[in-house]
Structures are given as C-alpha cells and as structure tokens.
Structure 1
Amino acid sequence: MNDQRQLVEQFMEAIANHDYPKIREMLHDEYTYESSDGQRMEGPEAGIARYEMLTSAFPDLHMDIRNMFVDGNTIVSEFINHGTHQGEMNGIEPTYHPIALPSCNIIEIRDGKIYADRDYYDNALMMHQLGVVLGREQTV
C-alpha cells in the first residue's frame, strides 16, 4: 500500500477514534486547513481544535471512503461523513439528527506529515440534514 494513502487512512481513523495525540503527530508544523465555506486555520494546534470541535459535535463521526487517488504527495479522497449531531457546533445546539454528507478532501504531504488539508462539502446540505434550514419544498 502507498505510504501517503496509508497516512490519510490512519488520519481519518484517528479522527473517528478521537485520538488527538495521534492526529497531532500526523500534522506538519506548518499545517493549514481550508474548507469550502471559506474557513482557514493555520498550525497544528488549530487543526487539533477543529477536530476536537467536530468530534464533540459528532461523537460517532466516521468517514466512509469511496475513492482515493494518490499523485506524488497529493491525495484526493471522496468519502461520506456519517455521524449524529450530539454536541454544540458553531453555535448550533445538538439536533440529534444524523448526517450523511458527501465530501471531497485534498491533502498534501510534506516531510511525511499532513501539510495542507482542503475540504469540499455542501454546507447547506449539512444544515438541511440537521434540520436548521428550510428545504426547497419548505420555501416561503
């Protein structure tokens, strides 16, 4: 198995297992995170804070990998985020609704660690699944 692919799979597993020390080991000292909603974080401690927030909001969060492509030190993953909203997230109180959120992630590896992490997902779909926005059939 490709080392980069294995690193990303272990990273996703560490997130699902709430293994923050392992996540920290995997993050480069110059780690950056960007999401499709414009959020940007810099540094491994900011990355840990993000994953602590996610796993606090979705304690059963896990990623069902559909496809993974490796090109040198760049890994593109297509996956479904599954979890139940059981904790506060960005001011949204727990809804106890499940999510199944299709996502794409691009990770760059440098010095054997995760250097850059970019997530692409439909935030409106997640809000709809959580029941915090109106669906098309409910427009006013």
Structure 2
Amino acid sequence: MATFWDLKHWLTDAINMHDIRGILSCYSPNAVYVTPSGVAEGHEQIAWMYQQFFTAFPDFHVTAWFELGDCENPAVTEWTYTGTHKGPFLLPDGREIEGTGRHIALRATCSTFVRDDKIVTHREYFDQLELYSQLGFGLTKIEHR
C-alpha cells in the first residue's frame, strides 16, 4: 500500500515528465482539481487543465522545497513552478495569450486529499497576479487584436 507521500511524489514525477496518463493514475476517476484559474472534475477535465499548462509552458517543471512532514492527509507541499511561456496560455475569461518567451518562477502550494490510494481532491494555490506580471501583463488590460 502506498503512502500519501508516495502518491504525491509519483504525481510530481508525472507532472515533470508531462505524462498525462501518469498524472491521471494518481487521481480517482471523480477527483476534483481546484486551481486559481478554475475547477476540474473527473479525469477528462483534470487532463485538460494540465495540458493547458504543458502547452503554454513546454518546459514546465515543479520543484518541491517544503513538505509538511507531520501531516499525512492532506499532504501539503510548497513548491516552485518554472517554465518558459512558448505556447498559447488560456486566461480564465477564455482569451488566449500567445507565447511571450518569458521565463516564470512562481511560488505555489497545494493540499492533496487521498482516499483508497487515489487523490480525491487536489487544491493548488498560486498568485495569478505574480504569474501575469512575470508574463509582462500585471494589472493592465490586454487588448484584443
């Protein structure tokens, strides 16, 4: 039987390999993935959310730098996202931003709840303003072209 932390580490490895099948193997079929940009329910939507990041940031990588060691469920991790914005990035309002070539280094944390050896809820937290600022947008309005 895998521990909560084993599962979390497998998820991290699959994310860093951009392995959608490996990512989904960590989630229960009806899992919920909550991010600042939206909520995904079930494997199809969860795969779509990850694919959006992998498309926008082909070198997307997560590095864990703190794990709350005395906590098992939820498994809490703080990490850094890094990547280079090369592909279209979907905004919450449905618009896409074409690749800017800018590099991001974004602080994030997540809480992962596990039941029956699968993730049932994964809550990801990061500052969208920090992300948009690193992409060169900040609080300015993006004009349609």
**Same fold at TM > 0.5:** yes
2:129 and 2:139 in contact (8 A); partners too: no
- TM-score (norm. length: structure 2): 0.85
How far is the alpha carbon of 1:81 from its aligned partner?
A: 0.3
Name stretches of at least 5 consecutive residues in structure 2 with no aligned partner: 91-95, 141-145
1:16 and 1:55 in contact (8 A); partners too: no
Alignment length (residue pairs): 133
> What is the SS of the residue equivalent to 2:53?
helix
Paired residue type of 1:52? Q
The 1:110–1:86 alpha-carbon spacing in structure 2 relative to 1, beyond 3 Å, is: same
Name stretches of at least 5 consecutive residues in structure 1 with no aligned partner: 136-140
How far is the alpha carbon of 1:76 from its aligned partner?
A: 0.5
Query: Aligned residues: percent identity?
Result: 30
Question: Of the candidates 97, 101, 107, which is equivalent to residue 96 of structure 1?
Answer: 101
Paired residue type of 1:46? Q
Superimposed CA distance per residue, residues 46-89 of structure 1 (whole angstroms, 9 cap, x where no aligned partner):
11111111111111111111111252331110001011011101
1:129 is aligned to: 134
- TM-score (norm. length: structure 1): 0.88
Paired residue type of 1:58? F
RMSD of aligned C-alpha atoms?
Answer: 1.6
> Does residue 1:117 correspond to 2:87, yes or no?
no
Distance in 1 between residues matched to 2:73 and 2:44, nearest whole Å: 22
The 1:24–1:134 alpha-carbon spacing in structure 2 relative to 1, beyond 3 Å, is: closer
